[in-house]
C-alpha cells in the first residue's frame, strides 16, 4: 500500500461524511487497481455529494471494469443528468462516447 493510499484511508475513516475524503480515497484505490474498494468509496462519495459528473464517470468506468454493465449504464445516465444540470456539455459527450 502506498503512503498516499494509507493516508487517504485514515482521512476517510476519521471523516466518513466528508465527500472529498471519500473521493480522494476512491481515486487512490483506482490508482492501486483496487476496483472493488473503489466502487464502494465512489458510491459513498456520490451518496454524500451533488457530483457534477466526474465522479459518476469514474464510478461508471469502475463498474464497467468489474463487469457490472447494467449498473455502469445506470451510472452513465445519472452522470449525464448531473453534467447537464451543471452545464458541462463536454462531460456529457464523454458519457455518450461510452459503449456500455
pTM for the model stands at 0.93
Give tens-digit pLDDT for 20-65: 999 999 999 999 999 999 999 999 999 999 999 999 999 999 999 9
C-alpha cell at 71: 449498473
User: What residue segments make up the domains of the chain, in order of their start?
Assistant: 1-49, 51-100
Residue with cell 465512489: 42
- Rounded to an integer, the average pLDDT of 84-94 is 96
Question: Do the beta carbons of residue 8 and residue 28 sit within 8 Å?
Answer: yes
Length in residues, the chain = 100
Share of the chain above pLDDT 90, in %: 96
Question: Do the beta carbons of residue 74 and residue 90 sit within 8 Å?
Answer: no
Higher pLDDT, 1 or 86: 86
Question: Do the beta carbons of residue 38 and residue 26 sit within 8 Å?
Answer: yes
Going by the DSSP 8-state scheme, the letter that residue 67 receives in this structure is T
CA 76 to mean position of chain CA atoms: 11
Amino acid at each position: 500500500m502506498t503512503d498516499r493510499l494509507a493516508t487517504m484511508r485514515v482521512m476517510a475513516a476519521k471523516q466518513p461524511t466528508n465527500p472529498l475524503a471519500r473521493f480522494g480515497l476512491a481515486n487512490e484505490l483506482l490508482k492501486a487497481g483496487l476496483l472493488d474498494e473503489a466502487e464502494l468509496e465512489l458510491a459513498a462519495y456520490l451518496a454524500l455529494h451533488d457530483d457534477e459528473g466526474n465522479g459518476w464517470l469514474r464510478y461508471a468506468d469502475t463498474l464497467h471494469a468489474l463487469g457490472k454493465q447494467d449498473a455502469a449504464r445506470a451510472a452513465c445516465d445519472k452522470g449525464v443528468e448531473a453534467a447537464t444540470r451543471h452545464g458541462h456539455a463536454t462531460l456529457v459527450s464523454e458519457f455518450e462516447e461510452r459503449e456500455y
